[in-house]
Amino acid sequence: MYLYSMFYGCLIGRFWNRAIDAFAAANPLLLRWLGTPVESRARNLPRITYFGLLDPDEDYPVFQHSRPEDQMAPDFVEIRNLAFSYPEQFEGIPPWKLVIKHLAIPSSTICRVIGGNMVGKTTLLRVLAGMESVSYSTETQITGSLIQSNGNRGKSIYTLRPRNTFFLSHSDRMFPELTIWENVRLARNCGMLSKKDAYQRFRQYLSGLQILRDKSERTCLGSLSSGGQALIRLARAYAWGAQLVLIDEVTAHLDDDSATAFFGNLGLLLKDGCSVVLVSHDRRDHDLAENVANEGNRSIAIAIERKENTSCVIEPSSS
């Protein structure tokens, strides 16, 4: 019975693939929607979904650490040959693609992402945070100590959600109606510590902050200033023992004192072996990040460059 099912399954699958190929060859738009099965099979490549495909003819710039190999820290996340584009496509606008030929995030490192508007910095962070579904080909390799399983369990589309990773975004309002401890508690699924340990770390973190020292844990988040809210965003990562923190423009609208306090506390996390990926257009934030890195941590710059409709992660430099 099982063999019969397999036989008929293969037969139906074969006919289905042929039908798809025939339709796709006849209609380029459908071809793009279906994910170029004809082209990919012709080149003996795996079929990639509509999310994105590394073009084998294209010579993409490659990410390389410029530090010597013996100084390299173990990588938390390492990505090879990953392409991403948003599934929503608009008529008349060619689809944009973010290509990561090779990207590695070592431990205890500040990775400063550099690039202008519209190059895909936030998208890179969203991909790293597991907020976007990515396509996975046989060439794609996602490894590292924070990656929960190296395999994609047979799926062509899946989300990357590294362990102990916190995404701090300027677009995240969090929950102004809830208390600051409730806001921190909600992020428990991102961390690995027990609730008791997290609570102790949270109390310790609060007591070390001048701006929040007189606030109780039952204070509503909405009653805090933007600086206070940014520090509570970081409190989530600190309390739950983050190993990777992705920061997207969180400090851009803070005054100098608040930004200094934010990066000072970020330094505490880095001392624990945490890594940070920082996106900011503010030169001050990059300087503050460099200052934190000079206190015994590493710093690398990751540039993202856009050419027409493809953005590439390129040319890192270390300091």
Partner 1 sequence: MRYRAFLLVVISAALLGASTSSPQVAVVVLANWLRSALPLVPLALAAGLIISCGKIDIASGAAFSFVGMIIVAWTKQFGSGTSTIVGLLIAWAAVILFYLIMYILVVIGRIPALLCTLGLALCGEGISLLLQAFINSGSSENGLAGMTVRTSDLSFFSWKYAISLVVIVLLILWRYRSDAGLDHIAVGIDQTASEISGVKIKMVFLRSFMFSGILVGLSAVLFLVNVQVGGWATNMGWGKELLAIAAAVIGGCKINGGRFDPLSVAFATVLVFGISDITNALDIPLEWDYLILGAGVVAVGLVDGLRIRGIQA
* Residues that bind partner 1 in the complex, under the rule CB under 8 A: 129, 131, 167, 169, 171-175, 177-178, 182, 185-190, 222, 236
Taking alpha carbons only, the member of 276, 301, 277 closest to residue 64 is 301
What is the closest distance, in whole angstroms, from the C-beta atom of residue 120 to partner 1 in the complex? 18
CB nearer to partner 1: pick between 74 and 222? 222
303 forms bridges with which residues in the sheet? Answer: 114, 314
Q: Tell me the HSE value of 126 on the side-chain side, using a 13 A CA sphere.
A: 15
Q: How far apart are CA 312 and CA 69, in angstroms?
A: 24
What is the closest distance, in whole angstroms, from the C-beta atom of residue 269 to partner 1 in the complex? 17
CB nearer to partner 1: pick between 172 and 272? 172
Give the chain's length: 319
CB nearer to partner 1: pick between 114 and 190? 190
CB nearer to partner 1: pick between 63 and 181? 181
The identity of residue 75, as a single letter, is D
Map tokens 């796709």 to a residue. 24
What is the closest distance, in whole angstroms, from the C-beta atom of residue 190 to partner 1 in the complex? 4
What is the closest distance, in whole angstroms, from the C-beta atom of residue 236 to partner 1 in the complex? 8
What is the closest distance, in whole angstroms, from the C-beta atom of residue 126 to partner 1 in the complex? 10
- How far is CA 114 from its chain centroid? 15
Question: In this structure, what DSSP letter does residue 280 have?
Answer: -
Residue 230, CA distances (Å) to 21, 67, 111, 277 in order:
51, 32, 19, 16
CB nearer to partner 1: pick between 132 and 310? 132
Backbone angles phi, psi at 277, to 5 degrees: -110, 115
CB nearer to partner 1: pick between 105 and 174? 174
CB nearer to partner 1: pick between 177 and 257? 177
**Whole-number CA gyration radius for the chain:** 22
Taking alpha carbons only, the member of 159, 106, 90 closest to residue 130 is 159
DSSP assignment of 171-233: T----TTSBHHHHHHGGGGG--S-HHHHHHHHHHHHHT-TTTTT--TTSBGGGS-HHHHHHHH
What is the closest distance, in whole angstroms, from the C-beta atom of residue 130 to partner 1 in the complex? 9
Taking alpha carbons only, the member of 305, 308, 318 closest to residue 62 is 305
What is the closest distance, in whole angstroms, from the C-beta atom of residue 159 to partner 1 in the complex? 11
What is the closest distance, in whole angstroms, from the C-beta atom of residue 239 to partner 1 in the complex? 13
CB nearer to partner 1: pick between 99 and 277? 277
